Chain A
Amino acid sequence: MGQDRKDGEGGDPDVTADHGKPRSRAFDREIRDAIRYEQGLVIKALVVLAMVAVIVTVRTLYFA
C-alpha cells in the first residue's frame, strides 16, 4: 500500500513516488555515477581478459 492508501495495482509501483517534484540534480548525478562505475567494470573485465590472453600466449609459445 502506498502513501495514497491504494495497492499498487495495474502496474503502479508498490510505493508511491513523488512524481510531482522534479528529480534533483544530486539524484541524477548519483544514478549517472552508478552507471559509470558499472561501465568501468567492462573496461576492467577487458583488461583482465587481455592479461589472461597474454599469459596463455606466452605459456603456449615458450613454456608448453
Chain B
Amino acid sequence: MGHDLLQGGDWILLVLVVVGAFPELAATYQFLLVAGHFWRNDYRSCEPVFPRTAILIPAWNEAAVIGASIDRLMSLEYPREALRIFLVDDASTDQTPEVAAAKAVQYPGNVIHLRRHKGGQGKAHTLNHGLAIILQDDWMEALLITDADVIFTADSLRKMTRHLADPQVGAVTAYIKEGSRPGNYMTRFIGYEYITAQAAARRGQNVLGATACLAGGAQLHTRANLLALGGRIDTTSLAEDTFTTFQTQLLGRRVVFEPHATVWAEEPGSIVSLWKQRLRWARGNVQVTLRYRKLWFRPGRGHSLGGVSFGLFWFCLFLQPLIMITSSASLLTLYFGNFPRAWLAFHLLWIINAVTYIFITSFALLIDPKIARHTWRQAVMFPGAINLSIIIYSCFPRLFREYLRRFFVAGHLYSPHGHRGWIIVFVYAWPAASMAVAYLAKAAEPHRFGRFLSPLLVYTVGYGSLLCSCTFAAYIKELRKAEMVWDKTEKTGKVGIPT
C-alpha cells in the first residue's frame, strides 16, 4: 500500500516536471495558429477609409525625440486635413514645451500643444487629460494613441484605418519593432522577442479572435469604442493598455492586430531599464489577472477572452516562474527518491523543450527575416548557454557523453563512484536557479564589473529567465501591495527606420 502510494507520488512528480514544458508547448500552439492567419483575418472587410484621426501623444521630457516623431507623423500617407496631433506635455522640465510650440507653429491646425502644469501621475492620467479635450467636439472619428519616441512608417496609419471599415472592429494595433540604432545585445534580444510576442503571438490571437494587449505605442480606436469605454483610460492599474484591450472586447468589439503596419520604437538598452519597464508590465498583468478572475476559462458571448486557448496562453506566461520552480523542485525530489524516474522525467522535459525551441526559433526567424538578420544570434541564445547545452545534450546524448567524460577527467572532476551527482543536481535545479542568477545580472549591472559580467550572465541564463525573474519580482511587489510608481522608460532619440 505504502509502496503504491510512493509510486503514485512519483507519477505526480513526473507530471509536475513535464508541466515545466507547458509554456513552450503553449507558445508552439500559438505559433501553429500563425499558419491559420491567411484564412482567418480581417482583410476581406478592409476598405480604404481615412477617418479624421486625432493622434494623442503623452510626453514627459521628450525633447530629444518628439520633434522627429511629429515630423514623421506629418509625412504619413494620409490626408493632412484628417490629422491632428495632440501633444500632452506632462509638466516636462526639459525643452519639450519649446519643441512642441515650434511644431505647432510649423504645422498650424495640425499640431496642438496641451500643457499640464502639474504632472507625474502616470501615462493614463496624461492620456485622459488629452482625451477630455479631444472629445469636446465631434471632429475626431478615430484616435491613435502613441508614444513620443515611436516612429511610424509612411503607410502604417492607413493600413490600420482600413480595418475600421468593419463595424465590429473597435481597435487596431500595429507591429512595434525595436529600432535603436546603434543597438546593443539587449535591444537585439528585445527585437527578437517582439517577433515572438507580436508578429507571431498577435497573429495567433487574431486567429483566436481574442487579443491580449494593444501595443501602447500604436493603438487606434474608433470614437464609438472610446465612448463605450467611458471616454477615458483606466487609471487604477499599471496596465492601462491591457485593461483597454479587455474592455473593448468585453463590450463586444473586436481588436485587430495589423502585422503589416510597422512602427519603430526605442526599447531599453540595459537590464536595469528593461527591469523597470517589465516590472510595470508584469505588475499590470497581475492586476489584470485578478480583476478579470471571473473571466478565465469561461467562454462568453461576443468575445473569446474566456476561451480555453486564450486562458492557456495567458496563464502559461503569467505563471511561468512558478511553473519553472515547481518543475525543478519535483525533479530534485524525484532525484533523491527515485532516480530512474527522475532521469525519465528530465529527458521528457528537455526533449519537449528541444523540439519546441527548434520550431519556435526557426519559425520566428522566418516570420520576420529583416529583423532576424540582426537578431539571429540572440534568437539562438534566447534560452541561455546552459539551457542550450542541455537541449543539445538531450537531443544527442551519445555524441556528447564521451566529450563530457574527457572534460571531467581533464578537470579532475570525474569519479567512477557517485560521479556527476552534483552536476545532475545543478542541471535539475537550473530552471529555477537561473531566475536567481538573472537577478544577479540585474544587480551587478550598475557596478563597474557589471558592464562585462551582466551581459555574460544574460547570455548564460537566457533572456527568458531574466523576464521570468522580473515576473517573480512583480508577484512579490503585488503581494506586498507596493506603491504603483510609473517608472518611465528613458528615451534618447536613437531610433531610426532601417533602409
Contacts and interface: CB of A to CB of B under 8 A. Distances in A.
A35 B37 CA distance: 9
Shortest beta-carbon contacts, A-B, top 3 = A14-B222, A38-B38, A15-B51
A29 to B, nearest CB: 12
A1 B224 contact: yes
B297 interface: no
B367 A44 contact: yes
Given A3-B141, A52-B355, A8 B167 contact: yes
B262 to A, nearest CB: 12
A15 B35 contact: no
Contact of A37 (B47, B142, B170, B260): B260
Contacts of B35: 41-42, 45-46
Interface string B50-66: 01100000000000000
Q: B interface, by DSSP: helix, strand, loop or mixed?
A: helix
Given A5-B138, A31-B46, A13 B165 contact: yes
A31 B45 CA distance: 10
B31 to A, nearest CB: 8
Most central of A23, A24, A30, A47 by chain B CB within 10 Å: A30
Contact of A27 (B31, B37, B48, B164): B48
Contacts of B170: 14
Given A24-B48, A42-B38, A31 B43 contact: yes
Contacts of B31: 45
B75 interface: no
Contacts of B91: none
A13 B167 contact: yes
Interface string B32-46: 101101100101001
B141 A35 contact: no
Interface residues of A, number: 39
A44 B366 contact: yes
Contact of A41 (B34, B142, B161, B164): B34
Contacts of A44: 363, 366-367
A5 B141 CA distance: 10
B398 A45 contact: no
Interface in A9-35: 11-19, 23-24, 27, 30-31, 34-35
A12 B169 CA distance: 11
A31 B397 CA distance: 48
B399 interface: yes
B362 interface: yes
A55 B167 CA distance: 47
A1 to B, nearest CB: 5
Contacts of A14: 141-142, 164, 167, 169-170, 222-225
A11 B46 CA distance: 15
Interface string A46-64: 1111011001100100010
Interface string B391-402: 000011111000
Given A2-B51, A13-B49, 5 more contacts: A1-B141, A11-B167, A27-B162, A41-B35, A63-B396
